A and B are shown apart, each in its own frame.
Chain A
Amino acid sequence: MTTDERFSRDFRDARPDEPVGTRNPIVTGPVSDWATDFSHLEPEWAADPYPIQDDLRERCPVAHTGRFGGGWLPTRYEDVAAIAYDTERFSSRSIIMSNFRPPREVAPIGGSPPISSDPPFHHDARKLLLPAFTRTAVERQEPATRALCHSLIDDFGGQDIVDAARDYAQHIPMRVIADMLGFPPEDGPQFRQFVENTLEGVNLPPEERIARMSALFDYLLEQIHDHIDNPRDDLTMFLINAELYGRKLEPSHVAGTMALLLIAGIDTTWSAIGASLWHLAKEQADRERIVAEPGLLPTAMEEFLRAYAPVTMARLVKDDMQWNGVDMKADDWILLSFPAANRDPAQFDRAADVVIDREVNRHAAFGLGIHRCVGSHLARMELRVALEVWLARIPVFTLADPSAVTWSTGQIRGPRTLPLRLG
């Protein structure tokens, strides 16, 4: 058995002099005015955020809230892009808008590098990951992904109605990322818990949130130990052995990046697959056209990514400043809504319509600038294969009960219950 001193004690055991973050009171309940009191965690936003975003874009392009200790919501493409590019004035040290701000000292690395990192560290941490996630590299996952999609549909076993979010979409990214990280495939249900805790548990009491995050890191540490004892060729092993600046990574970097790949790899693609199937179940003409012209799928898929972009990021303002006419304070949140940017009529013709043959589609679903989603090629492969297999096997389907569809709450948006009638 090999030993790796880095993981022999729990890297989370804090030193007494370690800085702590800041907490603010949790505010929940109906929003009084979206321009001055927005919350992406309220049911109205989860049910349909687009009319809210469209309204804000017209009357108040940068909305404010006192919730979460204060934050801003830009809704124009131009403003979202400007903030994504401005890593000097906006930090990624926390990318989930919550009631806790990690201490400034965590920058430039953050808890889950490289998504939580700022330059110049960001570039080096990201560079480590890029080769594993190129389009060429992820092609290796395609045959197994296709086989998985077929087996999920085989498992429907002739039912008339299936839940496409629960029984299809969620399993695809879960299995693919578990394979890439070298985690047991049967741990899938635990991953779902981790994802919900991280991304949807934002307004839980702090003790509860800490306990739940701690369960995730307990699991990751268990996997790290298992890899040290039984070395194998996968992303976990790669991170354990990786070097930066001539030394192996800090244990918190290894586990933080694993957490990132697990969490960000699942919820997002699950949402994109589900939202695309929801659209096709609802819009019969679009479904029929893609079934008749399979070559249109890659173009249609980009349009689904634009119109139903699953991912919203967050930033923290570094210092007090005037920004595009608003008075930002140090440590104010920015809710960086790529979905809102993607529906800005100043950037897209017919922005509110889903145009499946839209040829010019400079959408920002995977972000803009240095934090472009590192898994975008993997996500696109999974989304394409999931839709190809579904449409080939089940060319005819409709929403079984539109009112039974439920959507996730928080920064990742997608269907979590999606009953479809097959045939």
Chain B
Amino acid sequence: MKVQINSQLCQGHGRCYDLAPSLFGDDDEGYGQVLGDGVVPPGEEQDARLAVANCPERAIELIEES
């Protein structure tokens, strides 16, 4: 499972880095950034899903790898 942010949609609400601080951070202007390669470590799937579900701009995608 992997997360990515569509920077065209992100407006810097910051819900992702509040709810899933080990997966997302903020840049110098407050926009969300994926930390590292975006691969969700085992045990953090729920945080990732919460970040996706709470983004007011629907800017976060969850890619489920089979």
Contacts and interface: CB of A to CB of B under 8 A. Distances in A.
Contacts of A362: 53-56, 58
Contacts of B11: 368-370, 372
Interface in B34-64: 50, 53-58
Given A298-B18, A372-B11, A372-B13, A134 B28 contact: yes
A211 interface: no
A203 B65 CA distance: 58
Contacts of B56: 362-364, 366, 368, 372
A376 B54 contact: no
B26 A136 contact: yes
Interface centre among B53, B56, B57 (most CB of A within 10 A): B56
Interface in A113-138: 127, 130-131, 133-136
Contact of A134 (B29, B53, B54, B57): B29
B57 A361 contact: no
Contacts of B12: 130, 134, 372
Interface string B1-27: 000000000011110011000000010
Nearest to A136: B26
Contacts of A4: none
Contacts of B30: 130-131, 133-135, 377
A362 B29 CA distance: 22
A366 B13 contact: yes
A118 to B, nearest CB: 16
Contacts of A133: 30
A372 B58 CA distance: 14
Contact of B57 (A360, A368, A376): A368
B53 A131 contact: no
Nearest to A129: B29
Interface in A358-391: 359-364, 366, 368-370, 372, 376-377
A131 B29 contact: yes
B15 to A, nearest CB: 8
A376 B26 contact: no
A134 B18 contact: no
Given A131-B28, A131-B29, A298-B18, A360 B13 contact: no
Contacts of A370: 11
B35 to A, nearest CB: 14
B17 A135 contact: yes
Interface string A384-415: 00000000000000000000000000000000
A320 to B, nearest CB: 30
B13 A376 contact: yes
A194 B41 CA distance: 51
B28 A360 contact: no
A361 B13 CA distance: 13
A341 to B, nearest CB: 11
A364 B57 CA distance: 9
Given A131-B30, A372-B13, 16 more contacts: A130-B12, A130-B30, A131-B29, A133-B30, A134-B28, A135-B26, A135-B30, A136-B26, A298-B18, A360-B50, A362-B55, A368-B56, A372-B12, A372-B56, A376-B14, A377-B30
Please list the 6 inter-chain residue pairs (A to B) with the smallest Cβ-Cβ separation, ordered nearest first: A134-B30, A130-B29, A372-B11, A360-B53, A362-B56, A135-B14
28 contacts: A127-B29, A130-B12, A130-B28, A130-B30, A131-B28, A133-B30, A134-B26, A134-B28, A134-B29, A134-B30, A135-B18, A135-B26, A136-B26, A359-B53, A362-B53, A362-B55, A364-B56, A366-B13, A366-B56, A368-B11, A368-B56, A369-B57, A370-B11, A372-B11, A372-B12, A372-B56, A376-B13, A376-B14
